[in-house]
Chains A and B, each alone.
Chain A
Amino acid sequence: MLAEGKRGRRRALFLRRRAASAILPPLRKIALFSDRDWTVNAAATLAVAGVALVPFIVAADQIDRFRTIKESAMRTEALLGLLLLTIAATFGDRERLRTLARRRELLGIIAAGIVWISFTTLISTNRLLSVPVLVTWIAAALVFLTVWYGARAIGLVMIDVLVPATVLNTMLAFLQETGRWNPFTVSPRMPMHMRATACLGNPNIVGTFLALNVVILIVAAIEVPGVRRWLYACGAIAGAGGVLFSQTRTAVVGLAAGVVLISIGRSWKRALLLVAGLALALGLALALHMRAVTSLIAVPRAIAQGQLNVVASERVSAALAAIEMTRDRPLTGMGPGTYKYHYMPYIVRVEQRYPPSLVEQSGTNFGETHNDHLQTLAETGVVGYALFLAIVIAIVFTARRVTTLDHARTRLAARVALPLGGTLLVLCLAQFPLQVAVTRELIVSFGALLAGWSEL
Chain B
Amino acid sequence: MSRIARIAIVTAVAAFCVYAFRVWVYAPYACDLMVTDLRNRTATMLDMKDDVAATAMARENLTDLYALRDRCPTEPRAYTMIGATLDRLGRYDEIIPVMQDALKIDRRPEFYVAIGDADVRLGRTDDAAENYATAARFRSNVLEIIQSEEVLRRVQERLRAPR
Contact = CB atoms under 8 A, between A and B. Distances in A.
A344 B32 CA distance: 25
Interface string A327-368: 000000000000011111101100010000000000101000
Interface in A61-81: 61-64, 68-69, 71-72, 75-76, 79-80
Interface string B101-119: 0001111110000000000
B28 A72 contact: yes
B122 interface: no
Most chain A beta carbons < 10 A, residue from B9, B21, B24, B141: B24
B141 A63 contact: no
A63 B32 contact: yes
B156 interface: no
> Most A CB atoms within 10 A — which of B21, B26, B32?
B32
A394 to B, nearest CB: 27
Contacts of A128: 73-74, 104-105
Contacts of B104: 126, 128
Contacts of A75: 20-21, 24-25
Contacts of B25: 72, 75-76, 79
A300 interface: no
Interface residues of B, number: 35
Given A87-B10, A90-B6, A129-B105, A79 B21 contact: yes
Interface in A25-83: 59, 61-64, 68-69, 71-72, 75-76, 79-80, 82-83
B14 interface: yes
Contact of A68 (B13, B28, B107): B28
Nearest to A79: B17
Given A344-B138, A348-B138, A62 B105 contact: no
A76 B13 CA distance: 14
A178 interface: no
A91 B10 contact: yes
A135 interface: yes
Contacts of A80: 17
B98 interface: no
Contacts of A129: 74, 105
Given A86-B10, A90-B9, A62 B24 contact: no
Interface string B24-41: 111011011101100100
Contact of B109 (A79, A82, A344): A344
Interface of A: 59, 61-64, 68-69, 71-72, 75-76, 79-80, 82-83, 86-87, 90-91, 126, 128-129, 132, 135, 139, 340-345, 347-348, 352, 363, 365
Interface of B: 1, 6, 9-10, 13-14, 17, 20-21, 24-26, 28-29, 31-33, 35-36, 39, 73-74, 77, 104-109, 137-141, 163
28 contacts: A59-B29, A61-B36, A69-B29, A71-B28, A75-B20, A75-B25, A76-B25, A79-B17, A79-B21, A82-B17, A83-B10, A83-B14, A90-B1, A90-B9, A90-B10, A91-B6, A128-B74, A129-B74, A129-B105, A132-B74, A139-B24, A341-B105, A343-B107, A344-B108, A344-B109, A363-B138, A363-B139, A365-B109
